[in-house]
């Protein structure tokens, strides 16, 4: 699938899960850069959330000849400062025709993690020993399932 289709599929799956969990959802009609879905808790209409959806397939990292499974999503530098008490990221892994996997992470955790990992990456030498150059690409990497199906965080 092309990247637009992957992204759209992820947003639709997330919207369906939010509705199943008692939220009214709305997609942004234009390409809103900070969030993809607005969600309102039906049991507490004052609880309004901005949801940023990022969708990918499984990624693998080779570690000393061993293949270690990790999940990675590409973000931009803006993710370092894009945070709010009512903003969440839902990271989606499409699994072919199987059900997707969801990782629900508060935006503050994403911002802190992305910034820290990028700063560490800048300190490390590149493949040929050269210093890494500053750029706008950021990666959010999950090494475990800590945030998997963490839907309950949206009701807190």
Q: Taking CA 22 as the corner, what is the angle to CA 20 and CA 28, rounded to the nearest 5 degrees? A: 85
Domains, in order of start, for the chain: 3-155 (3.40.1350.10)
pLDDT attached to residue 63: 57
Q: Model-level pTM?
A: 0.89
Contact, 68 vs 57, CB < 8 A? Answer: no
Mind listing the pLDDT tens digit of every residue in the chain (156 residues)? 788 888 899 999 999 999 999 999 999 877 778 899 999 999 999 999 999 999 987 655 555 556 666 788 999 999 999 999 999 999 999 987 889 999 999 999 999 999 999 999 999 998 899 999 999 999 998 888 899 999 999 988
Q: Taking CA 75 as the corner, what is the angle to CA 73 and CA 81, rounded to the nearest 5 degrees? A: 130
Positive or negative, the CA dihedral 39, 103, 138, 83 is positive
Provide the pairing of β-strand 59-63 with 48-56: unpaired
Q: Nearest to residue 123, comparing CAs of 114, 111, 132?
A: 132
pLDDT attached to residue 23: 97
In this structure, the number of other CB atoms found within 10 A of the CB of residue 133 comes to 7
- What are the two backbone dihedrals, phi and then psi, of residue 122, each rounded to the nearest 5 degrees? -60, -30
pLDDT attached to residue 60: 52
pLDDT attached to residue 29: 77
Contact, 89 vs 107, CB < 8 A? Answer: yes
pLDDT attached to residue 84: 95
């Amino acid at each position: 699938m092309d990247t637009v289709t992957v992204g759209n599929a992820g947003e639709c799956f997330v919207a369906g899960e939010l509705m199943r969990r008692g939220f009214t959802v709305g997609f942004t009609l234009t390409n809103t850069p900070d969030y993809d879905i607005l969600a309102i808790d039906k049991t507490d209409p004052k609880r309004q959330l901005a949801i940023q959806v990022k969708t990918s397939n499984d990624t693998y990292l080779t570690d000393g000849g061993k293949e270690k499974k990790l999940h990675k999503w590409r973000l931009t530098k803006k993710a370092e400062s894009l945070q709010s008490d009512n903003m969440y990221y839902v990271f989606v892994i499409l699994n072919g025709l199987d059900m997707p996997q969801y990782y629900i992470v508060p935006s503050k955790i994403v911002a802190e993690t992305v910034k820290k990992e990028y700063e560490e990456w800048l300190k490390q030498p590149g493949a040929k020993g050269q210093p890494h150059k500053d750029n706008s690409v950021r990666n959010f990497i999950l090494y475990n399932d800590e945030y998997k199906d963490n839907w309950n965080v949206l009701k807190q």
